[in-house]
Structure 1
Amino acid sequence: MAKTLRIDPIAEARRQWLAHGWDAAADGMTAVISVNRAQQLLMARIDAALRPLDLTFARYELLRMLAFTAEGRMPLSSAVARLQVHATSVTNTVDRLVRDDLLVRAPHPTDRRAALLLLTDAGRARAEEATTALNEVFSALGMDSDDEIELARIIARFRKRSGDFEEPSPVPDPI
């Protein structure tokens, strides 16, 4: 863990923005840098939890997504769409998981151009181990539950306004 700083560098950056007359952008800059720093702190915890299992968060996400499916399988194109990352990144993740015998890439049964991802028993077991480790992180973020829910709601509103998703029909219970 990094050394605790004596001042909040984000608050100092905001002070500098205001001192330079960039008042209209100061709150936005503060929000962006705060979210970025929070993401760094959270990913450090996630990486530490997954490292003993020889997983990155990207590999975990793919394993967990496949483990959530009824049969542990999904077309590669569906995985790319759901993970919201470039196809090359997903392909690299798949290659590593295949190499580690955690999933299998198979021909799609009805589309010769497509690949099907199949979770192995070892992949399912690793996904469960990793989920247990990550749930320890998720349940001890250092925020109370009301703050966690409010933060998720704020970010969901931002994502929706940014065109990240549309409201599904029917609408699920709010976060």
Structure 2
Amino acid sequence: MATSPLPVDPIAEARRQWVAHGWDDAADGMSAVTSVMRAHQLLLAEVDRALKPLGLSFARYEMLRLLAFTREGRMPMASATARLQVHPATVTSAVDRLERDGLLRRTPHPRDGRATMLALTDVGRDLTERATDALNQSVFSKVGLDVDDMKMLVHVIAKLRLEAGDFIKHRPLPDPL
């Protein structure tokens, strides 16, 4: 992923400096946070490389993919905002661009006059599938970790997200009768 590997891991060196300066109690946390942030930069660069030829950012792709996962290719804008976990202004900006490009359209909510529905267009659905293929081929199937490491990574990050209040821990559902 990196274009020119460094001879030394700068995060390991930063950790060494943290300890040398007497910040031992924060050194591991600094290393963890900095590692996640650097991994985010590396992965986002790969995602951008895959989506750029299709004229999409990851934020715009996520909106299209979310709509494509629904049965009818549509959902209330407020639901999309909640599921994407971003500020409403960010969603509005993405929706404005997607609508301008003919990839989705806004329609009135059938029962709530104050709400707006987002509906995927046929062009948007086609682009979403092509973008998903590109991401699957060039990013998601080539993360650089084996399956067990990826599962462990997802598990550890889920614990971090749960502790941060990102979601409510899933409770087992009762067995159906």
TM range (shorter): over 0.9
Within a 5 Å distance, the mapping from 1:1-175 to structure 2 comes to 2-136=3-137, 137-170=139-172
Distance of 1:73 and 1:94 partners within structure 2 = 13
Listed one character per residue, the Cα deviations across residues 141-163 of structure 1 (whole Å, up to 9, x for unaligned) are 11111110000000001111111
Distance of 2:160 and 2:143 partners within structure 1 = 22
**Alpha-carbon offset, residue 169 of structure 1:** 4.1
Paired amino acid for 1:117: L
Query: Sequence identity, in percent?
Result: 61
Distance of 1:112 and 1:65 partners within structure 2 = 23
Unaligned runs of 5+ in 1: none
**Alpha-carbon offset, residue 111 of structure 1:** 1.1
Distance of 1:167 and 1:125 partners within structure 2 = 35
Select between 37-46 and 158-167 the one with higher mean Cα deviation. Answer: 158-167
Paired amino acid for 2:164: S
Paired amino acid for 2:53: P
Paired amino acid for 1:148: M
Select between 48-57 and 157-166 the one with higher mean Cα deviation. Answer: 157-166
Aligned-residue CA RMSD in angstroms? Answer: 1.0
**1:118 counterpart SS class:** strand
**Alpha-carbon offset, residue 107 of structure 1:** 1.1
Distance of 1:28 and 1:97 partners within structure 2 = 39
**2:107 counterpart SS class:** strand
- TM-score by structure 2 length? 0.94
